[in-house]
């Protein structure tokens, strides 16, 4: 069993990123508001990006591998694009449906 009080930096970061992802997934499943869901998505993204850093530390110790950081930066950029589109879409959704409650927006089914 892992001793949570005696973790290396890499392990701690890994664990916390896993927690972040779990929190994000939980948020995205339980929240009905579209903005909150997007925030949940962002939490997952943060967790995943953190995991990159964690892995680089876990693998290489103090000698940090720059690849992971480069990849993280790229993925944050991609994430920004995703959020941009998501928020734009949210605006349109609000204009169309006058609500952001995703349980209400269910014209498409079956």
Partner 1 sequence: MLPYAPWIVWIFPLLMSFTHFIWERISKRLRDFIAVGTGFVSAIFAASMIPDVLNGYTYVNGVKYTIPFDWVAIEWIPTPGVSLKVGVMVDPLSVLMANIVAWISSLIFLYSVEYLHGDRGITRYWMLVNFFIGAMELLVLSDNLLMMFFGWEGVGLASYALIGYWYEDHKEYWIDNYPPSHCGMKAFITTRVGDVGLLVSIVIIFLYAGTFNYVDLANNASWLTSLAKDGLLFLTLILLFLGPIGKSAQFPLHVWLPEAMAGPTTVSALIHAATMVKAGVYLIARMDLVLYAANMVSNGAAYEYLYNFFLVVAWIGAFTAFLAASMGMVANQIKKVLAYSTVSQLGYMFAALGAAGLLMEHGEAFVDAFMAGVSHLFSHAIFKALLFLSAGAIGHAIESYMLKDMGGLKKYMPKTFLVMMAGALSLSGVPPFNGFWSKDSILHGLMGEGLYSLYLILAITAVMTVFYTFRMMGLAFFGGESSHVKHLIEEGHKPHDPGLYMMIPLWVLAIGSAISGFLIPSVANLFAPAMEEIGIHAEILNEVYFFSIDRFVISTVASVSMPIAIVLILAGLIPAYYGFITYKFDVKSFIEGNPILKGLWKFLFNRWYINAFYYKVFVNGVLGVSRSIFNYVETNGGGAAIKASYTLISNAVRKIQTGVLRMNLVYIALGILLVIYLILASL
Partner 2 sequence: MIENILLIMGVGAFVTPLLGYLLGDRERYLGVFVAAVHLFALGYIYWSLLMRGTLKDMFYLFSSPVSSILVFDPLSLFFVTVFLIVGFIASVHSIGYMSHDRNLTIYYTLFLLMMLGLVGLSMAYDLFTFFVFWEAMAISSYVLVAFRYHLDEPVEAGMKYLIMSGVGSLLVLYAITLVYGFVGSLRVDFIVQYVMAYATFQGIEYLLVPAMIVTLLLVGFGIKAAYFPFWTWLPDAHPAAPSPISALLSGIVIKAGILGIMRFVLPMISNIPQATAFGTPIYVVAILTMTVPNIIALMQDDIKRLLAYSSIVNIGFILIGITSYVYGSPYYGAASALSHVFSHALGKGLGFLAVGGIIYSLETREIKKLRGLGRHRPLTALALTMALLSLAGMPPLPGFWSKWLLILSAIHSGLWWLAFVGVFNSVLAVLYYLWLIQRLFFAEPTEYVLQSREVHPAIKVSLMMLMGLMVIIGLYPQIMYQLSFAAASVIAPLLHT
Where on the chain is the footprint of partner 2 (CB under 8 A)? 14, 21, 25, 28, 34, 37-38, 41, 44-45, 47-48, 51-52, 54-56, 58-59, 67-68, 70-71, 74-75, 78, 81-82, 85-86, 89-90, 92-93, 96-97, 102, 105, 107-108, 110
- CA 33 distance to own-chain centroid: 17
CA–CA separation, 74 vs 78, rounded Å? Answer: 6
* Residue 24 near residue 16, CB atoms below 8 Å: no
- Per DSSP, 101 falls in state B
CA–CA separation, 5 vs 27, rounded Å? Answer: 27
Q: How far apart are the first and last CA of the chain?
A: 46
Query: Judged by CB, which is closer to partner 1: 64, or 94?
Result: 94
Q: Which does 55 bind (CB under 5 to 8 A by kind): partner 2, partner 1, none?
A: partner 2
Q: Based on the shown chain and the rule CB under 8 A, indicate whether residue 37 belongs to the binding site for partner 1.
A: yes
Residues engaged in binding partner 1 (CB under 8 A)? 25, 28-32, 37, 102-103, 105-110
């Amino acid at each position: 069993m892992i001793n949570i009080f005696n973790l290396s930096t890499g392990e701690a970061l890994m664990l916390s990123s896993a927690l972040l992802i779990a929190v994000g997934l939980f948020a995205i499943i339980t929240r009905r508001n579209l903005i909150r869901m997007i925030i949940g998505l962002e939490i997952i993204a943060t967790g995943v990006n953190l995991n990159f850093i964690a892995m680089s530390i876990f693998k290489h110790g103090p000698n940090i591998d720059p690849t992971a950081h480069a990849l993280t930066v790229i993925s944050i950029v991609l994430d920004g694009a995703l959020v941009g589109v998501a928020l734009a879409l949210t605006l349109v959704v609000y204009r169309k449906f006058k609500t952001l409650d995703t349980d209400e927006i269910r014209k498409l089914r079956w």
